């Protein structure tokens, strides 16, 4: 490994390739062989692999890989709203648009590039976007892959409008799991949540940890900044750390809804679980010139370290 690190060429850390539609994808690599792939379509992370080449994010085999639709899987960015809204598409338009590589971004408040392979992306609304959501903004996204293989997404949204605006947000993270019935989430015990399956009624989580035996679609409110998703069969734990993102969405469509979704295989719900760092209950308000930052870091560790 020492030798490998010595010959590691930083040029290998970043590569740009084109997808079937001619859209650029940026591949990040670390010296240990982990990788992440980010599409300029939506700024979506579409793959994240560990040093053994195992995929850590779910991607549906039925995904419709044709813009403007976002791929079913990876981490679609939900902005300027998470969920439904009368005038905008579900989960906002940012995930369905073409982003650009940001060659000269303003520096991040804290140094976040040490030893990491990263790419900076930029999304600005077009005139057409502004017709549907008349608030001008600059959305900067940094996706980085650490030496330890951790995946980090930092979103910075700046109001470049003459007037205040507010938005909700979510990193719609499709985690790849062995079998949904073998999975549990720790860190959301005793939290309040809105249940989207029960007209957004508010409940308090009673169980010790969240386990799965039917469809789930909830927004946990004001949650801790670190939660864990344990996969017993794979003995793998996703540790999710977030900042600026008080809420956590937990979603699995289960059997009936999967069958009704054209871009998800009938049984694929068993291999996925969405656990999203989000800001939903209290929309983020930005005055002209103000900027918001939302940070998500996902690490994968062997479960034995946590049990
Ligand atoms: C979840 C929502 O986060 O995303 C669900 O809570 C929704 O209600 C799901 O069905 C998938 O949304 P979409 O737009 O990607 O099909």
Q: What pLDDT, on the 0 to 100 scale, is given for residue 8?
A: 63
Ligand 1 centroid to 83 CA: how many Å?
7
Minimal-distance CA residue to ligand 1 atom 1: 251
| Domains annotated on the chain, with CATH | 7-305 (2.70.98.10)
Q: What is the pLDDT of residues 245-304, one digit of tens each?
A: 999 999 999 999 999 999 999 999 999 999 999 999 999 999 999 999 999 999 999 986
Residue 270 · residue 149 · CB < 8 Å? no
Q: Is the pLDDT of residue 102 over 60?
A: yes
Q: Whose CA is nearest to atom 10 of ligand 1?
A: 253
Tens digits of residue pLDDT in 27-69: 999 999 999 999 999 999 999 999 999 999 999 999 998 888 8
Rounded Cα distance, 12 and 32, in Å: 12
d(CA 63, ligand 1 centre) in Å: 14
Q: 143-188 pLDDT, tens per residue?
A: 999 999 999 999 999 999 999 999 999 999 999 999 999 999 999 9
| Rounded Cα gap, residues 102 and 207, in angstroms | 44
Q: 307 C-alpha vs ligand 1 centroid, how far in Å?
A: 31
What are the residues whose beta carbons fall under 8 Å from the beta carbon of 103, sequence distance 6 or more? Answer: 120
Looking at the CA of residue 218, tell me the nearest atom of ligand 1: 6
Residue whose CA is closest, atom 8 of ligand 1?
A: 217
**Atom of ligand 1 at shortest range from CA of 261:** 16
Give the pLDDT mean for 95-124: 89
> How far away, in angstroms, is 274 Cα from ligand 1 center?
9
**How far is 88 from 290, CA to CA, in rounded Å?**
24
Closest CA to 148 of 306, 301, 46: 301
> What is the value of pTM for the model shown?
0.95
pLDDT digits (tens, 9 = 90+) for 8-24: 666 678 899 999 999 99
pLDDT at 305: 54
200-226 confidence digits (pLDDT tens): 999 999 988 999 999 999 999 999 999
Are 25 and 19 spatial neighbours (Cβ–Cβ below 8 Å)? yes
Pocket of ligand 1 (CB under 6 A): 90-91, 172, 196, 217, 249, 251, 274
How far, in Å, CA of 210 to CA of 185, rounded?
5
Res 195 pLDDT > 50: yes
Share of the chain above pLDDT 70, in %: 94
* Distance from Cα 120 to the centre of ligand 1, integer Å: 26
Ligand 1: distance of its center to the CA of 92 in Å?
A: 11
């Amino acid at each position: 490994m020492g030798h490998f690190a010595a010959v590691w060429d930083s040029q290998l850390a970043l590569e740009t390739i084109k997808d079937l539609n001619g859209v650029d994808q940026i591949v990040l690599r670390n010296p240990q062989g982990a990788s992440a792939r980010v599409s300029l379509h939506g700024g979506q992370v579409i793959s994240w692999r560990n040093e053994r080449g195992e995929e850590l994010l779910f991607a549906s085999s039925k995904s419709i890989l044709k813009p403007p639709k976002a791929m079913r899987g990876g981490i679609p960015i939900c902005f300027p709203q998470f969920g439904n809204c009368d005038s905008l598409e579900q989960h906002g338009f940012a995930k369905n648009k073409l982003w650009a590589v940001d060659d000269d971004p303003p520096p991040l408040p804290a140094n976040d590039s040490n030893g990491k392979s990263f790419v900076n992306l930029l999304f600005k609304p077009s005139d057409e976007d502004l017709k549907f959501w008349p608030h001008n903004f600059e959305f900067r996204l940094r996706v980085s892959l650490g030496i330890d293989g951790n995946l980090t997404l930092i979103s910075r949204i700046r109001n470049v409008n003459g007037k205040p605006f507010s938005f909700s947000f979510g990193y719609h993270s499709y985690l790849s799991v062995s079998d949904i019935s073998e999975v549990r989430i720790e860190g959301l015990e005793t939290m309040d949540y809105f249940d989207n399956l029960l007209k957004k009624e508010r409940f308090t989580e009673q169980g010790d940890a969240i386990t799965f035996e039917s469809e789930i679609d909830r927004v946990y409110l004001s949650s801790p900044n670190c939660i864990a998703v344990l996969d017993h069969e794979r003995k793998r734990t996703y540790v999710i750390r977030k900042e600026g993102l008080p809420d956590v969405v937990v979603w699995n469509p289960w059997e009936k809804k999967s069958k009704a979704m054209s871009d998800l295989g009938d049984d694929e719900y068993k291999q996925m679980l969405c656990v999203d760092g989000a800001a939903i209950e209290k929309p983020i308000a930005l005055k002209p010139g103000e900027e918001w930052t939302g940070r998500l870091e996902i690490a994968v560790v062997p479960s034995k370290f946590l049990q």
